[in-house]
Amino acid sequence: MKIVGVVAVVAVVLSLRIALYRARRRRRRDGGGGRPARRSLDLPTLESALGDVGLVAGREIRERVRGRIFRIGTLVILVAVAAVIVIPTLDKTTTLPQQKVGVVGTLSPQVRQVVEVAGRATREKVVLAGESSRQSAAAALRSGKLDVVIVNSTEMLVDHPLGSSKSHADVPFVDTVAEYLGVLQAYERAGLTTAQRAVVSGARPVPVTSLTPGGKSAVQTTSVIGLVLLFIMLTQYCTWTLIGVLQEKSSRVVEVLLSTVRPIQLLGGKVLGIGLVAMGQAALIVGVALAIGAAVGSDLLHGAAPIAVLAELLWLLLGYAFYSWVYAAAGSTAERQDQVQTLALPLSLPVLFGYVYSITVASSGGTPSLFFKVLAYFPPTAPFCMSVLVGLRQATWWEFLASTLLSLAGTVAVAVFAARIYRRAVLRTGGRVRLAELVGRPTAGRRP
Amino acid sequence: MAGLLQVEGLRRRFGSVVALDGLTFDVPAGEVVGFLGPNGAGKTTTMRAIFGLTDLDGGTVRWNGASVSQADRRAFGYMPEERGLYPGMLVGEQVEYLGRLHGLSRAESARETAGWLERLDIATRRGDKVETLSHGNQQRVQLAAALVHAPELLVLDEPLSGLDPTGIDAIGRVLVDQARSGCCVLFSSHQLDLVEDLCDRVVIIDHGRLVVAGTVDDLATSGARRLQVRVEGRRDAEWAERLPGVRVSELSGGAVRLLLDDDTDSDEVLRAAMTAGRVTEFSFTRRRLSEVFREALA
C-alpha cells in the first residue's frame, strides 16, 4: 500500500510537470515574443516593512523561487528525504513475520499488553482475532487460519508441538506470552491490588551498557542525515549569494542600483532574500520529512530526533547568517564567473572541516572530545558541532544558548567587515580586487 | 543663471593618474547639456561622482545649492556607460523594480513602466528576458529604467552609442522632451553632430579640467569668422594658404573652411578664389561643434 501511495505521488508530480511543460510550449508556439509578463510573486508585507532592503530581498526571492534549478533541486531533495524515511519502513513491514492469534473469551487490557509486548520483543507482527469457542478456535488453528490461540487468558493452543517443522507458531513468541500469562495468574493468586499490579506490570528492564559501541541509533542516523543536508544547503545558499553579487557586478547593474540605494541596503537585501528562500526550502523539507515520518511510523523521527532536526534547522539559519556575508564580500572582489571556484574553495574549508569532523563524531556515537566541544562555540564550526552535541544530548540549554549568542555576535562582526569590503570592491572593475587593497584605510577619496 | 546641478572643483586621482583636476561646471534646469571630451578626460568619473559611486579627493556636487543627499539621488536618473540590467529578468519587471527603488508605489511604477515601454516602442517585449533583446532594445530598456520615476536630473553616459538612426531619433526626442518639461539633462557622447543637434549647451573637458562651456549658439558664433568656399575643379586649398590673415580650418568634399582674422577683408579672399577657378560657393558659416571641440583641445 505504501509503495502504491509513493507511486501515486510521483505520478501526480510528473503529470503536473508534463502539463506545465506542454502549456509553456503551446504559449511559445502562439507567439512568445508578445506574451504578457508573468504574474509576479507579491511580497507587499516584506517590501513595505523593510523599504529598499525589502524590495531588494523581494526581488531575490522572486527570481530564486522561479528558477528551474531551485525547483528541480527542491524536488530532488524532497524525493531523497522521503526515500530515506520511507524505504526502511517498507523493508521492515515486508520482512516482519506475522503471528495470527485467536482469542477465546475476554481479552483484558493486561493480556493485550502482554501479547503486544511479546510481539515487539520477538519482532513478530501480531494480528488478533476473536473466536467464539475453543472448538471453533481449534478448527481455525488446524486449517491454518490461526497460528496460536489464547483461551480465557489461561491456556494456549498450537496446531503442532512447538519447534516441530509443521508448527506455524513462533516458539519465542509463544514462550514469552505463556510466561507472561503465567505471571499474570500469579499476580491474581497473590491477591495484588490493581495499583500493585500496575507497578509490577510497569517494570522495565535495567539498562544494559556495552563496552564497545554498537550500531547507529535512530537519533544518530537522523543527526547524520541532517548534517549532510545542512552542509549541502549551507554551501548552496552561500554560493548563491556569492554568484548573485558577482553577477550584479559583472552585468554592471550594481552601478544602477547603487545610484539609488546604499551598498549596505543592497547587500542586506540580498542576504535577507536568499536567506528567506533558504529557510523556506529547509522548512518545507523538514515539514515534509516530519509528515512522512509520522505517516509511515519511521524510527528516524522518534524520541530526541525531532529536536535534533529542529536544532539543525536553527543552525542552518545561523550558519547562513554568518557565512553569507563572507561569501557576498568575496563575490564583490571578483569580476568573472570563472573566478567563482577560486573564491569559493578557501571559504568552504572551515565549512568542510566542521562538516567532516561532525559527521565522524555523530557516526561514532561516542562522547565528543573537549576540542569538538570548543568548536561548538566557534561561529564558523558551531552550526555543525553544536547540532551534533544536541543530537547526542551532550549540550545543556544554556550551552546551546551561549553558542547561539556567540554565533550572532560573530555574524554582526563579519557583516560589518563584509559590508566595508563590499562597498569598496563592488564598483571596482578591471580585474579581481586583492583583499590587501580593501582591508586597509583608503589612501584617498571620500564620497561627494 | 545658476544651474540646479553644480559640480564644484572635483578632484580624483587613481594612483598616478589624475582623473579629475578641479572640474567645475553647472547644468541648468530645462536644458540638454552635452558633456564632451576625449577618451580618459574624466567624463565617466564625473558622472559616477554625481551619484556617489566613486570616492572624491576634493570638491562637491550640489543640487539646488546643497550637497547631494541620498534622497536627492532617488530623484535622479542614471544610465551608465556599461549598461546595467539583470540579463535574466523580464523587461517589465526590471523597469518596475527600478522604479520602486526610486520611490514609486507598486501601482505608479507599473503604470509608468507601461507608458515608457510603449513610448520607446518595446511594449511587446515586456514579458521577455532582457538577454533576449537586441543591443538597441536593451538600450531602450535602460533608458526606460532611468526615466520611469520622472527624474529631476537625468545623467546618461554615451546613450546613443551603437544605435541605428531610428533609435537615435527616438532617444534624442525623449531627451529634448525631458528637458523641455523642466528636467536637467546631462549626457556624454562622441557623436558631435548629434550633440550639436540635440543640445542647448555643451561642456568640454580634458585631463579632468574644464576647457570650454557655453550654449551651442554662443560657441557657434564665437571666435574667428568662418568662410566656406568651393572652387570648381579644385580639391586643395593652396590658393588660400598664402593669403595673409587667413587659416585653413578644414578641407572636405571640395569645400574649404577658412578662419579669418578680424582685420582680414573677405573681398580679398573672394578675389583669390576667383583667380583659382570658378567659385560655386562663398558663404560665412557658423562654427561647427566638431571645430569647437578640436580647437578647444588643440
For A374-408, the pLDDT digits (tens) are 999 999 999 889 888 887 778 888 899 999 999 99
Measure A247 CA to nearest chain B CA, in Å. Answer: 8
- pLDDT of A36 > 70? The answer is no
Asked if the Cβ–Cβ distance from A444 to B85 is below 8 Å, we say no
CATH topology for B223-297 is: Alpha-Beta Plaits (3.30.70)
Measure B73 CA to nearest chain A CA, in Å. Answer: 6
Q: Pick from A36, A59, A446: which is nearest to B127 by CB? A: A36
- What mean pLDDT do residues B55-74 have? 90
The CATH architecture to which B5-216 belongs is 3-Layer(aba) Sandwich (3.40)
Q: Which pTM was predicted?
A: 0.71
pLDDT the model gives residue A343: 75
Asked if the Cβ–Cβ distance from B127 to A261 is below 8 Å, we say no
- Higher-pLDDT residue of A443 and A208 is A208
Average pLDDT score over chain B: 88
Amino acid in the structure at residue A145: K
- What mean pLDDT do residues A166-187 have? 83
Q: Pick from A38, A253, A255: which is nearest to B127 by CB? A: A38
Q: Are B143 and B79 in contact (CB under 8 A)?
A: yes
Which of the residue ranges A342-346, B135-139, B172-176 would you say has the lowest mean pLDDT? A342-346
- The residues spanned by each domain of chain B are 5-216, 223-297
Contacts of B264 (CB under 8 A, 6+ apart): B225, B243, B244, B245, B246
Average pLDDT score over chain A: 79
- The residues spanned by each domain of chain A are 49-82+217-439, 98-201
CA B192 to CA B197: how far, in whole Å? 9
Note the helical H segments in B181-265: 192-198, 216-221, 238-241
- pLDDT of A447 > 50? The answer is no
Measure A424 CA to nearest chain B CA, in Å. Answer: 9
Amino acid in the structure at residue A172: P
> Which residues on B lie below 8 Å from A445 (Cβ)?
12, 54-57
- Higher-pLDDT residue of A142 and A208 is A142
CA A177 to CA A150: how far, in whole Å? 9
Confidence of residue A96 (pLDDT cuts 50, 70, 90): low
CA A282 to CA A313: how far, in whole Å? 7
Closest CA to B118 of B91, B97, B100: B91
The answer, for A69 touching chain B at a CB cutoff of 8 Å, is: no
Asked if the Cβ–Cβ distance from B101 to A446 is below 8 Å, we say no
The answer, for A264 touching chain B at a CB cutoff of 8 Å, is: no
pLDDT the model gives residue A219: 60
- Higher-pLDDT residue of A237 and A434 is A237
- What mean pLDDT do residues A133-154 have? 86
- What mean pLDDT do residues A113-137 have? 82
Q: Pick from B56, B73, B124: which is nearest to A33 by CB? A: B124
As given in the structure block, the three cell numbers for residue B168 are 537615435
- Residue whose entry in the numeric block shows the C-alpha cell 560655386: B280
CA A353 to CA A238: how far, in whole Å? 16
As given in the structure block, the three cell numbers for residue A308 are 535534533
Q: Are B127 and A36 in contact (CB under 8 A)?
A: yes
For A76-93, the pLDDT digits (tens) are 888 888 888 788 777 655
CA B235 to CA B251: how far, in whole Å? 8
Note the helical H segments in A251-297: 253-258, 263-296
Measure A259 CA to nearest chain B CA, in Å. Answer: 5
Task: Using alpha carbons, list the distances in angstroms from residue B216 to A339, B5, B36, B38.
Answer: 48, 19, 12, 18
Nearest residue of A to residue B61, measured between CA atoms: A448
pLDDT the model gives residue A411: 93
- What mean pLDDT do residues A188-199 have? 79
Measure B288 CA to nearest chain A CA, in Å. Answer: 34
Nearest residue of B to residue A34, measured between CA atoms: B124
Closest CA to B122 of B156, B100, B97, B148: B148
Confidence of residue A335 (pLDDT cuts 50, 70, 90): confident
- Higher-pLDDT residue of A120 and B255 is B255
Task: Using alpha carbons, list the distances in angstroms from residue A232 to A25, A278, A414.
Answer: 33, 11, 22
CA B265 to CA B285: how far, in whole Å? 16
Asked if the Cβ–Cβ distance from A262 to B92 is below 8 Å, we say no
- Higher-pLDDT residue of A7 and A143 is A143
Task: Using alpha carbons, list the distances in angstroms from residue A255 to A327, A379, A412, A429, B80.
Answer: 20, 33, 26, 11, 7
For A231-249, the pLDDT digits (tens) are 888 888 888 888 888 888 8
**Chains A & B: contacts with CB separation below 8 Å:** 106
Confidence of residue B249 (pLDDT cuts 50, 70, 90): confident
CA B253 to chain centre: 27
pLDDT the model gives residue A220: 67
For A170-179, the pLDDT digits (tens) are 888 888 888 8
Measure B203 CA to nearest chain A CA, in Å. Answer: 20
Q: Which CATH number is A98-201 given?
A: 3.40.190.10
Give the up-direction half-sphere exposure of residue A389: CA atoms within 13 A in the CB hemisphere.
Answer: 27
pLDDT the model gives residue A448: 42
As given in the structure block, the three cell numbers for residue A28 are 511559445
CA A419 to CA B265: how far, in whole Å? 69
DSSP secondary structure letter of residue A338: G
- Higher-pLDDT residue of A75 and A436 is A75
Asked if the Cβ–Cβ distance from A447 to B52 is below 8 Å, we say yes
Task: Using alpha carbons, list the distances in angstroms from residue B238 to B231, B235, B278.
Answer: 11, 9, 15
The answer, for A65 touching chain B at a CB cutoff of 8 Å, is: no
Confidence of residue A444 (pLDDT cuts 50, 70, 90): very low
Confidence of residue A27 (pLDDT cuts 50, 70, 90): low
- What mean pLDDT do residues B211-238 have? 86
- pLDDT of A446 > 50? The answer is no
Nearest residue of A to residue B102, measured between CA atoms: A260
Measure A277 CA to nearest chain B CA, in Å. Answer: 18
Other beta carbons less than 10 A from residue A306's beta carbon: 18
- pLDDT of A146 > 90? The answer is no
Asked if the Cβ–Cβ distance from A251 to B54 is below 8 Å, we say no
CA B260 to CA A382: how far, in whole Å? 82
- pLDDT of B153 > 90? The answer is yes
Closest CA to A177 of A130, A129, A110: A110
pLDDT the model gives residue A432: 60
pLDDT the model gives residue B254: 82
Q: At what angle do helices A68-95 and A218-250 cross, to 10 degrees?
A: 170
The answer, for A448 touching chain B at a CB cutoff of 8 Å, is: yes
Amino acid in the structure at residue A100: K
Percent of chain A with pLDDT over 70: 77
Residue among B56, B90, B101, B130 with most chain A CBs within 10 A, to mutate: B101
Asked if the Cβ–Cβ distance from B82 to A55 is below 8 Å, we say no
> Which residues on A lie below 8 Å from B105 (Cβ)?
none
Task: Using alpha carbons, list the distances in angstroms from residue A431 to A333, A426, A436, B85.
Answer: 9, 11, 14, 20
Nearest residue of A to residue B122, measured between CA atoms: A34
- Higher-pLDDT residue of A412 and A214 is A412
DSSP secondary structure letter of residue A446: B
Residue among B86, B124, B156 with most chain A CBs within 10 A, to mutate: B86
